[in-house]
Homo-oligomer: A and B are copies of this chain.
Amino acid sequence: MPKWLSDEEQRVWRQLLQMTSRLDGQLNRQLQDSSGLSMADYDVLVQLSEAPDVRMRVFELSDALQWEQSRLSHHLARMGKRELIKREYCAEDRRGAFVVLTDSGRRAIEGAAPAHAEAVRHFVFDGLTATQMKSLAAITSSVLRRLQGTEQQAWTPPTGS
């Protein structure tokens, strides 16, 4: 059980970090400039637009996005001010609330999606072979499996005694 990453691991790890931060930056800028949406806005709008009756309970959204409740609540408040979404009362459980896509929210996501998809394809998928595509699916699955069950608590390394 070596104490450090190997040279190869280190190189790949730094590349992965760089890839994700630059890709994130580029896609956010593209979205922002072309449509005024952030990736976070986009993700919320995608979930709602795919939901039956374009509405979801707050906790459903939170599960789907894997966001903390409070982050989501603050974000929905801001999106509400911009009229991308609205809240509706929930009759069955009066503690809860529905989040509903507005017409203007639907127009925003429909306007933003084509160029966003194009950008993702351009920067990521157009450069990959079919084999690399399969590999990427396997790699992300592997890491996600290893992250299972560590959702809220921090992982601690096994003691080396």
Contact = CB atoms under 8 A, between A and B. Distances in A.
A89 interface: no
B147 A123 contact: yes
A86 to B, nearest CB: 26
A38 to B, nearest CB: 13
Interface in A90-118: 113-115, 117-118
A67 B32 CA distance: 19
Interface string A108-147: 0000011101111111111110011101111111111111
B125 A9 contact: yes
B146 A66 contact: no
B155 A122 contact: yes
Given A113-B4, A157-B115, A20 B22 contact: no
Q: Is the interface of A mostly helix, strand, loop or mixed?
A: helix
19 contacts: A4-B113, A4-B114, A5-B120, A5-B121, A8-B133, A9-B121, A12-B137, A12-B140, A13-B124, A15-B140, A26-B147, A33-B154, A123-B143, A127-B142, A127-B145, A131-B135, A135-B136, A135-B139, A136-B139
A3 B147 contact: no
Nearest to A24: B20
Interface in A15-73: 15-16, 18-23, 26, 29-30, 32-34, 66
A30 B156 contact: yes
Given A123-B155, A124-B146, 20 more contacts: A4-B113, A12-B133, A13-B124, A13-B125, A15-B137, A16-B136, A19-B144, A22-B144, A22-B151, A26-B154, A26-B155, A33-B156, A34-B154, A114-B157, A118-B157, A122-B146, A123-B143, A123-B146, A127-B146, A131-B135
